[in-house]
Structure 1
Amino acid sequence: RIGGRIARAELAPLPLPLLRRALWRLLRQGSGHAPSQVQVEQIADALARGRVARFNLRGAWHAWLRADELQLLPPSAALGPREPRAGSTAAQPGLPFPLARGARFVPEAQWALAVPGEVVLPDGRVLRATRVEPGAYAAHSGDADAVAELDAEGLPAELCVRWPRRGDRFHGLGAPGHKSLARFLSGLGVSREDRAGVPLVCADGEILWVVGLRPCERHKLRRSTRARLRLELAPGAPSAG
């Protein structure tokens, strides 16, 4: 088996000694190389702090700590040539989801997203929200970019979904502070014309998830997290008019 992955929510509640052992076993069995103590401590610390990061491992392997999972990546030679994302080019990394070309994204438009519930966007994509209670685990989507999990404590039972607006600011997971949303998207290589079609999930005026790209820092999963808010983007057919 090449690589492996485990949901971040399964690791976060573990006591530190047990977490160290779990990480060592995952990295050892997944890569065939025993990780150093320093590598295990770095990943454990990033988990505890709610960070996203990529770690270099022995044998040219990488551990990618994402917003919702820890993924073990083999050397690029073992993976073979990579397929580009739909809609991406060599100069433009593109988004983790295709945009309907010609779709019109009105900044003033917004939709209420109940928890649990779903919203069908005008371009056909579907955003779903569920509350995952302590000790329960939701089925994991095959596309990690399409899922985000946050600490549900203090979040309302109804969220807001909308498109980016002028003046939006965002404090992304792992970032030292807020920055303009336009600057955040630009830093990820999202073209100016594509930025208007990136959905945002918000609560009380705060951006919780830049869909498909990054959840926020303030509501990140912690070891003390009990109930989790699970957000998921699913493809769909564009609505007729």
Structure 2
Amino acid sequence: MPDGALSPDVHHLRRDLAAAYRLIALEGMDDGIYTHISARLPDGPGGEKRFLLNPFGLRFDEVTAANLVTVDETGAVIDDPYGAGVNAAGFTIHSAVHMARHDAVCVLHTHTVAGVAVSSVKEGLLSLNQWSAQFHDRIAYHAYEGIALDLAERERIVADLGEKQVMLLRNHGTLLLGRSVAEAVKLALNLERSCKAQVAALGMGLTADVLPDEVAAHTAGQYQHAYDSVELRGKPDPEWAAQLRRLEVHAPGYRG
């Protein structure tokens, strides 16, 4: 469907993706004009793959539903309302993940201080509390190879990711996949506070009390059931609705 005649579903997707950018900025999880959040659009009339991405050079708190750019799987621009193009190199990881994982409606990449810190230790994320237990045995890891501009690295990232939705890019940051934009954002926020809590706990210089594997696994299953109830069984998502209400107060322009 041409961008000039957007379906209600596409309008909804654009709104949610713009909301994701604003929420990540509101939480202080953005990195200037770097890192990206992408969303898969329905295929074009000829079957071409299409994705939404932020315009090049805009801060996350400047992204709106209207200025998102439509690109193909290579990052080539299809539709550009803002006129600044995109950082095609920044879409390298995203495009590989989207093309390999058709369940990934949204791919979210961050470079936060806490996320980079946890990605920079051999132990990765530990199951220290209820927040981090949700990720028990659900995190993939990919070794750092330099700034991710090498197209050959994409295959290795996809292979390391496997079927997981969460990845720590070693010495680099985090990568989250969502079956919806809302799920990707919720995972990102939960991972961020898990990383912050680990940095804080280990910084006290006391003995870390890592949860037993069976307790952490049980907790992870409980979280997964809650996510699946929304994504697979269509139950209402009051958490995402609350985040959108938050934006109505702090950044209502995201919808424009």
TM norm structure 1 = 0.27
In proportion to residue count, which structure has more helix? 2
TM-score, normalised to structure 2's length? 0.26
